[in-house]
Amino acid sequence: MEILRPTDTEIWDKFRNGDNMAFSLIYSENSKRLYLYGLKFTKNQIIIEDAMQDLFSDLVRNRKTLGATDNIQFYLLKSFKRRLLRELLQEKRFNLKEKDEEYVFEISYSIEHEIILAEQSDQKLKYLQKALNNLTPRQKEAVYLKFTEGLEYEEISEMMKMSVESCRNLIYKAIKSLKESLQEIGSTTLFLLFNHLLRADSRPNKV
Amino acid sequence: MKKEKYLKYTAEDFILDKAFSVWVLTTDKVNGPFWEKFIREHPEQSDQIKDAKLIIRSLQPIEPEVTEQQLKKILQNIKSRHKTKTLTRYKWGKYAAGIALFIALGGLIWNSVHTKNRFPLEAGNGSSLKGKVILASGATREFDTEQTTIKQSSSGDLTINNDTITIQPEKINLAMNQIIIPYGKHSDIILADGTHIWLNSGSQLSYPARFKTDSREVYLSGEAFFEVKSNPDKPFYVITRDIKIRVTGTCFNVSSYDEDKTTQTVLVKGGITAWKNKLFAKSMVLFPGERLTYTKSNETLSRDKVDVKLYDSWVNGYLIFENVAITDIYRKLERYYNQPVATDEGDEKITFSGKLDLKNNINDVLENISFATSAKHERNESTTLKK
């Protein structure tokens, strides 16, 4: 695919120098992704919209003092998340669990369209769907940032306030669990067989 | 890319390999041949690759709908909040107009940046009866759309019939001209490179007075038919809110009205590549006689074979339909004539096939439809179509 546009650094600099069209471009390219990202944390659209308004209003107001960036998408996602979580916390609608860094990240996956591709058996896809639903919120967020937003490990780790190494591990574990779900048919059969043998073996001792 | 490292890759390794996932999600043209060859030559890796592709695709979430209206509303709030705090009303007026246009076009208008530039709020302002040209200098010129020839010369001059508007040379490089065609009107323009563009009612086209050295880019909202002058060194791009089309030399029709549920591109001859106007977009190649449809509600691209006559006939002053719901036909006629057409319940189930001559007035055209179908129609003379 060809690159048809100026770099993020150029767009951001134009915006900082008071260029309104650059602001329009930044808003039109990023507002939807921020909204969709916000919806993973809360279904309360008012809070999401407030956070977006605050974010962009502050950007416009402080444009002269903003730092440079070569990745606008990442810059916005990061500051949007910070604002959104702060607002959620204030509204006490934020589902805090025991650990401070735990939070909600809900995402719906549907692999129904893969069935149409007919390369995979129904059963295999059911296991995969189950494994997708079983990912932890943090795993979901990390894979979302990697495979939907296309961010790099360094960026994801910064957004999720963890080391690059733990971020790699987090994503690797998620992927591994999905991969294993595809092998589950084989192991279930084995398990059933094993279980059957075991039970046959132990039956005399049970009631 | 080196294939050696991939010989021992597990599905997990493939999934986490950026080059691989980009290929799965985007039909990456650069590395596509590499992966296809690799799969052919290494069938022993096919299970791992199959699993990896499935998992990468399954990780794409089903997204809830976020509408343009919601996003516009937020922008309005940002604007009004800011107005009271730091900027004068006058400054914000300009700012707002720039933003509104931007969303209507939704593309990447970048070179049009010019402090004196003023942008219209909407292309299809129902009150205007004349076409309008807005130059990057901020100057506007209205023109009658009947029998008009608009020509953009390579020196930067714009000619409307015998009326030539000269753009100062130092401004040419930044300049983005816009042509706005109201509802009920249509026009055509020949660009400096010889490309001929027919603009349908309620459409807006922005193009640079002078193209860049390596590409030709125009921005479209509404419907247009393009006859692009071939130049393989300078590909021609049509950018709409939802899709981006790349051309070297070809004839095709693009319909991208904000109020329609889909954006459609039909190729008459030549070849084009199109992709969604967003990150990680897959590209699709279109062959003559094919139609590319972008559905806004679920953001998908699809391709099918169509009769091209059904799509480019408006250029010649008539419309051809084949089993089209008359409600869809009414919408086209409303735009073309800038007259509202009332629909009855159940109209969407009635279909029409045949040819409508657009030189006739709207009553005759509706009469023809009624005659061929069982639909009744009413027209309110006093109101004009609003976007």
**Nearest chain A residue to B275, by CA:** A1
CB contact under 8 A, B29 and A128: no
For chain B, percent of residues with pLDDT exceeding 90: 6
Average pLDDT over residues B369-383: 58
Which run of H or E residues covers position B46? helix B46-58
For chain A, list the domains and their CATH numbers.
8-90 (1.10.1740.10), 112-205 (1.10.10.10)
Average pLDDT over residues B136-160: 74
pLDDT interval class at B175 (50, 70, 90): low
Which pLDDT value is given to residue A116?
A: 46
Which pLDDT value is given to residue B118?
A: 25
Q: Is the pLDDT of residue A174 over 90?
A: yes
Q: Which residues of A touch B71 (CB under 8 A)?
A: 31-32, 35
Please report where in the chains the tokens 């279930």 appear, as a residue. Answer: A188
Total beta-carbon pairs less than 8 A apart between chain A and chain B: 142
Alpha-carbon gap, residue B64 to A28, rounded angstroms? 18
Average pLDDT over residues B50-56: 90
pLDDT interval class at A171 (50, 70, 90): very high
Average pLDDT over residues B236-241: 85
Which pLDDT value is given to residue B249?
A: 66
Q: Which residues contact B310 (CB under 8 A, 6 or more apart)?
A: B320, B321, B322
Q: Which residues of B touch A21 (CB under 8 A)?
A: 98, 102, 109-110, 112-113
**Is any Cβ of chain B less than 8 angstroms from the Cβ of A20?**
yes
For chain B, percent of residues with pLDDT exceeding 70: 76
Which pLDDT value is given to residue A185?
A: 61
Other Cβ atoms less than 10 A from the Cβ of B202: the count is 29
Which pLDDT value is given to residue A111?
A: 66
Closest Cβ–Cβ partner in B60, B62, B78 for A56: B78
pLDDT interval class at A175 (50, 70, 90): very high
CB contact under 8 A, A175 and B16: yes
Which of B46, B59, B273 is best to mutate for the A interface (most A CBs within 10 A)?
A: B59
CATH architecture, domain B106-309: Sandwich (2.60)
**Nearest chain B residue to A115, by CA:** B54
Q: Which of residues 42-81 of A touch B (CB under 8 A)?
A: 45, 49, 52-53, 56-57, 60-61, 73
Q: Is the pLDDT of residue B134 over 90?
A: no
Average pLDDT over residues A28-37: 93
For residue B306, the 8-state DSSP code is -
Q: Which of residues 173-192 of A touch B (CB under 8 A)?
A: 175-176, 178-179, 182
Which pLDDT value is given to residue A77?
A: 96
As for the ipTM of the complex, it is 0.82
Is-contact B143 B198, C-beta < 8 A? no
Highest mean pLDDT among A45-49, A94-98, B141-145, B305-309: A45-49
Average pLDDT over residues B125-154: 71
Alpha-carbon gap, residue B296 to A94, rounded angstroms? 32
Q: Which residues of A touch B63 (CB under 8 A)?
A: 36
Closest Cβ–Cβ partner in A148, A150, A175 for B15: A175
Is-contact B143 B199, C-beta < 8 A? no
pLDDT interval class at B154 (50, 70, 90): confident
Question: Could you tell me how many residues make up chain A?
Answer: 207
Q: Which of residues 110-139 of A touch B (CB under 8 A)?
A: 110-111, 114, 119-120, 128-129, 132
Least confident stretch, A87-91, B5-9, B289-293: A87-91
Closest Cβ–Cβ partner in A24, A52, A172 for B99: A24
Least confident stretch, A42-46, A146-150, B338-342: B338-342
Paired tokens of B198: 């027919």
Highest mean pLDDT among A62-66, B60-64, B213-217, B282-286: A62-66
Alpha-carbon gap, residue B82 to A173, rounded angstroms? 45
For residue B335, the 8-state DSSP code is H
Least confident stretch, A110-114, B31-35, B77-81: A110-114
CB contact under 8 A, A39 and B280: no
Q: Give the three-class secondary structure for B148.
A: coil
**Nearest chain A residue to B30, by CA:** A1
For residue B236, the 8-state DSSP code is E
Which pLDDT value is given to residue B45?
A: 92
* Residue extents of the structural domains in chain B: 4-58, 106-309, 317-379
Cβ burial, residue B225 (10 Å; 0-12/13-18/19+): buried
Q: Is the pLDDT of residue A50 over 60?
A: yes
pLDDT interval class at B297 (50, 70, 90): confident
CB contact under 8 A, A150 and B280: yes
| CATH class for the region spanning B317-379 | alpha beta
CB contact under 8 A, A61 and B82: yes
Q: Which residues of B touch A19 (CB under 8 A)?
A: 113
Q: Give the three-class secondary structure for B174.
A: coil
**Nearest chain A residue to B29, by CA:** A1
CB contact under 8 A, A22 and B56: no
- For B3-33, write each residue's pLDDT tens digit: 888 999 999 999 999 889 888 887 666 788 8
Which of B54, B91, B219 is best to mutate for the A interface (most A CBs within 10 A)?
A: B54
Closest Cβ–Cβ partner in A5, A109, A148 for B58: A109
Measure in Å the smallest separation between the Cα of B347 and chain A Cα atoms: 33
How far is CA A207 from each of CA A194, A201, A203, A204, rounded to the nearest angstrom? 20, 13, 8, 8
Which pLDDT value is given to residue B32?
A: 83
For chain A, percent of residues with pLDDT exceeding 70: 73
Least confident stretch, A109-123, A172-186, B119-133: B119-133
Alpha-carbon gap, residue B284 to B32, rounded angstroms? 13
Q: Is the pLDDT of residue B229 over 50?
A: yes
- Considering only residues B8 and B315, tell me which one the structure prediction assigns the higher pLDDT: B8
Other Cβ atoms less than 10 A from the Cβ of B324: the count is 16
pLDDT interval class at B41 (50, 70, 90): very high
Alpha-carbon gap, residue B196 to B328, rounded angstroms? 27
Alpha-carbon gap, residue B150 to B164, rounded angstroms? 10
Average pLDDT over residues B232-252: 80
pLDDT interval class at B173 (50, 70, 90): low
Average pLDDT over residues B259-278: 78
Please report where in the chains the tokens 């976020």 appear, as a residue. Answer: B66
Phi, psi for B237 (deg, rounded to 5): -120, 135
Q: Which residues of A touch B55 (CB under 8 A)?
A: 128, 175, 178-179, 182
pLDDT interval class at A82 (50, 70, 90): very high
Other Cβ atoms less than 10 A from the Cβ of B47: the count is 11
